[in-house]
Chains A and B, each alone.
Chain A
Amino acid sequence: MIEVKNITKSFDGVTVLHDVSATFETGKTNLIIGQSGSGKTVMLKSLVGLMRPECGQILFDGRDIMAMNANEVKELRKEIGMLFQGSALFDSETVLGNVMFPLVMFTSMTRGEMLDRAMFCLERVNLKGAENKYPSEISGGMQKRVAIARAIALNPRYLFCDEPNSGLDPRTSILIDELLSDITHEYNMTTVINTHDMNSVLGIGENIIFINKGHREWVGNMNEIYNTTNEALNDFVFATDLFQEVRRYVAENGRRQR
């Protein structure tokens, strides 16, 4: 579990996160949602230590990342997997090289064991057969799946995803969402996903934190979101006719379970 307690972050005198607190639960897909510029990426980067809030605490199962020295942060990061918005695969490495990278750097496995583990991860994301291709030779959706395979290679306890659906077609987006949800439950990870994709919100949002103008405005889940009275959240999630229609349908017929 990750607990965020009263973090505040400013840039050049402009406060981007105002005294935000949140809890991200283990074994659940935790979503941070909000409009562009609402502060959700700053929050995610603060969680993983790429940015440092001015005050507050970020507790990884009780361990405060903000009170850690550089070596302790480095050790903690070995328990973290991250999926970046643009996948962030290493251009000079093949798909297999990318997935093997954390294994090469941080384990004492033999090459055979590393290969087995990397192939297992690639198989888990349905990418067997693409191991010798370079990132530039595969599609955006495949790149995301390689990035997921790389992120889970070391069996992380915490998985962070920054807009995993950006730039993907709806079908591939759903596949990525399902993959992230399945992996979270399978490995009992604490998964935090930063998104403004409404399909993800309504499809895999087991714990949703809504950030608006740097403030945490709402906490709930994908079932509770249909009945929210928060105006900003309603405007954000049900902004289109399609999603208003979805809400009407759910109100009349109930929600279909995955």
Chain B
Amino acid sequence: MLLTNSIATFGRYCLFMKRVFALPDKWKVFGKRVLDEVVKLGVDSIPLVLIISVFIGAVIAIQMQLNIMSPLIPAYTVGLATRDIVLLEFSNSILCLILAGKVGSNIASEIGTMRVTEQIDALEIMGVNSANYLVLPKIIAFVGFMPVLGILCIGTSFIGGWLVAEFTDIITVSRYVYGLQALFQEWYVWYGLIKSLVFAFIIATVASFFGYYVKGGALDVGKASTNGVVSSSILILMFDVILTKLLLQ
């Protein structure tokens, strides 16, 4: 039963995607909507990303210092480990799990509310492909802006670690900065960006899917929003494993 339902849901998701990835009715309107969504989903997420990143960067640096306290391990390892954790996991997987909560619930509740208040029906009656009109700009905007959020996250996390080095005595700034630069592998940056693009796509499409097919009232919009966030979070973790296996091994 669960398997059948999952397959049926996946089928509906694929059909939904087919409707979403159609040519827009009017490119000028589409372009304006993409810009609006960039602001709503991307730019408005910057403060959250910056706040979380600076604290997590600081915490990672402190925990690294505590865990690798050994005369056999060079002190700059704190910077190196902080960098790799941020590049490999925090700036993409963890960041996207956090954004699934903010952006995913925003998308699902917005589209869900439009569904229950018949605004989507109104679009359809006018002859507008509502899935394409509402969802494609969100996907383009969020996936397109995700690298910016990822890079901001990386930079701010490093600053968080630097603040720990600057204002505590657990590591010197010079060793921390040396650690950030040591044994750097450029591929880790690309790996993180590729993952974040995939996760952004998952967040935007899964949340839209749950919002678009809401039936009922306000309570159901809330449920759809929760389901959208939970499903996209699980998918992010699943794809994290798959992409790590594919890209790092």
A48/B125 in contact, CB under 8 A: yes
Chain A residues positioned under 8 Å from B125 (CB to CB): 48, 50, 77, 80-82, 160
Q: How many B residues, CB 8 Å from partner?
A: 15
Give Cα A91 to B122, complex, Å.
12
By beta carbon, the residue of chain B nearest A90 is B119
B121/A84 in contact, CB under 8 A: yes
A11 CB–B CB distance under 8 Å: no
A104/B29 in contact, CB under 8 A: yes
Given known contacts A105-B25, A105-B26, A50 and B124 CB-to-CB distance under 8 angstroms: yes
B127 CB–A CB distance under 8 Å: yes
Chain A residues positioned under 8 Å from B25 (CB to CB): 105-106
Given known contacts A105-B25, A105-B29, A74 and B127 CB-to-CB distance under 8 angstroms: yes
B122/A105 in contact, CB under 8 A: no
Residue from B29, B113, B118 in contact with A84 in the complex, judged by beta carbons closer than 8 Å: B118
Give Cα A161 to B125, complex, Å.
12
Residue from A74, A82, A86, A104 in contact with B117 in the complex, judged by beta carbons closer than 8 Å: A86
Give Cα A49 to B129, complex, Å.
13
A231 CB–B CB distance under 8 Å: no
A77/B118 in contact, CB under 8 A: no
Give Cα A101 to B119, complex, Å.
12
A85 CB–B CB distance under 8 Å: yes
Q: How far is the CB of A84 from chain B (nearest CB, A)?
A: 4
Q: How far is the CB of B217 from chain A (nearest CB, A)?
A: 11
Residue from B26, B119, B129 in contact with A91 in the complex, judged by beta carbons closer than 8 Å: B119
B177 CB–A CB distance under 8 Å: no
By beta carbon, the residue of chain A nearest B25 is A105
Chain A residues positioned under 8 Å from B127 (CB to CB): 74-78, 80, 106
B2 CB–A CB distance under 8 Å: no
A102/B124 in contact, CB under 8 A: no
Chain A residues positioned under 8 Å from B129 (CB to CB): 74
B126 CB–A CB distance under 8 Å: yes
B98 CB–A CB distance under 8 Å: no
B119/A77 in contact, CB under 8 A: no
Most interface-central of B29, B118, B119, B126 (chain A CB within 10 A) = B126
Give Cα A78 to B129, complex, Å.
12
A67 CB–B CB distance under 8 Å: no
- A-B contact list, 22 entries, CB within 8 Å: A50-B124, A50-B125, A74-B127, A77-B127, A80-B127, A81-B125, A86-B117, A88-B118, A88-B119, A88-B121, A88-B122, A89-B119, A90-B119, A91-B119, A101-B126, A102-B126, A104-B29, A105-B25, A105-B29, A105-B128, A106-B126, A160-B125
Give Cα A90 to B125, complex, Å.
14
B122/A82 in contact, CB under 8 A: yes
By beta carbon, the residue of chain A nearest B19 is A70
Q: How far is the CB of B241 from chain A (nearest CB, A)?
A: 38
Q: Which residues 103-139 in B have Cβ within 8 Å of A in the complex? A: 113, 117-119, 121-122, 124-129
Most interface-central of B118, B122, B128, B129 (chain A CB within 10 A) = B122
Give Cα A81 to B125, complex, Å.
7
By beta carbon, the residue of chain B nearest A70 is B129
By beta carbon, the residue of chain B nearest A108 is B26
By beta carbon, the residue of chain A nearest B120 is A88
Give Cα A104 to B119, complex, Å.
17
Chain A residues positioned under 8 Å from B117 (CB to CB): 86, 88, 91
Chain B residues positioned under 8 Å from A75 (CB to CB): 127
Chain B residues positioned under 8 Å from A104 (CB to CB): 26, 29
Give Cα A77 to B128, complex, Å.
9
Most interface-central of B29, B118, B127, B129 (chain A CB within 10 A) = B127
By beta carbon, the residue of chain B nearest A102 is B126
Give Cα A128 to B129, complex, Å.
30
